[in-house]
Amino acid sequence: MRVCQIFLIALLIACNNIPDKGFTNKAEARNQTVNGLKEGKWIEYEDSVFDASSDTNAPFYSLTVYEAGKPYGITRWYYKDRKLCSEIPHKYGQIDGVMKLYFESGKLKQEVPYSYGLKNGVEKMYYENGKTKTEFHYTNNKKNGIIKQYYESGKIKVEGTYINDKLTGTGKVFYESGQVMAETPMFDGQINGIQKMYYENGKLKSETPYSNGISGITRNYDEKGNAIK
């Protein structure tokens, strides 16, 4: 019984640690097919990430290892000048692992965690200076949890909460100084309640009532707090 358990554990470990299997030298590509299915190392040219091209001067190309027509291991996308554009991990034909995108400078641009073809975990985008630009939490391809956007300085810019892909709760927008710029009450993806806008000195700038996404009459104020007719 114990031998069987050890075998199963070893099998699970092996399945969860599939080697890279990708390649980086396009001269190794053979673009072969077996029984009509792509097999082995392939180079494919693209006009964009979604548009295949037969033109070897296309702006992008990808290097992929196929097994029985399905990508296996890391597919690497390159800009025409051979600079790395993205790395996409695959298991059994599905994206599985952390997909990475890069600026032409080589700096990391985006990280997207996948499991079995679905986004799961924290997706992050970065400014070219390395600071975080956005953070989105995903569960089975749907936004769930706190989302944040940042200024290039690293200061918080936007904060909100998603539940099953819909904004819920009070979303906030901030000035780079840290002062609140706007507060928007959300429910099930629609504005519900009073949306408030603020001057950078903290004084209320306007109030707009909403019901199921439909706005009422806005009240405006000057920077001293006096109502504007």
For 58-85, write each residue's pLDDT tens digit.
889 999 999 999 999 999 999 988 899 9
Number of domains in the chain: 1
Q: What are phi and psi of 216, to 5 degrees?
A: -100, -150
Establish if 98 belongs to a structural domain: no
Establish if 73 belongs to a structural domain: no
Q: What is the pLDDT of residues 114-123, one digit of tens each?
A: 999 999 999 9
Establish if 33 belongs to a structural domain: no
Q: What is the pLDDT of residue 57?
A: 79
* Domain CATH for 188: 2.20.110
Q: What is the pLDDT of residue 51?
A: 61
Establish if 211 belongs to a structural domain: yes
The C-alpha atoms of residue 213 and residue 17 are separated, in whole angstroms, by 47
Q: Tell me which residue of 116, 167, 124 sits closest to 144, measured CA to CA.
A: 167
Establish if 105 belongs to a structural domain: no
| Domain, as residue range, for 167 | 120-229
Mean pLDDT, the chain cut into blocks of 10 residues (229 residues total): 40 48 91 96 82 75 95 93 93 94 95 96 97 97 97 97 96 97 96 97 96 94 89
Establish if 8 belongs to a structural domain: no
Q: Would you say 171 and 194 are in contact if contact means Cβ atoms under 8 Å apart?
A: no
- Residue 19 three-state SS: coil
**pTM for the model:** 0.83
Establish if 32 belongs to a structural domain: no
Q: What is the pLDDT of residue 13?
A: 37
Dihedral angle of Cα 107, 110, 113, 119, to the nearest 10 degrees: -160
Q: What is the pLDDT of residue 92?
A: 86
The total of other beta-carbon atoms located within 10 Å of residue 43's CB is 18
What token pair was written down for 57?
A: 């001067």
Establish if 85 belongs to a structural domain: no
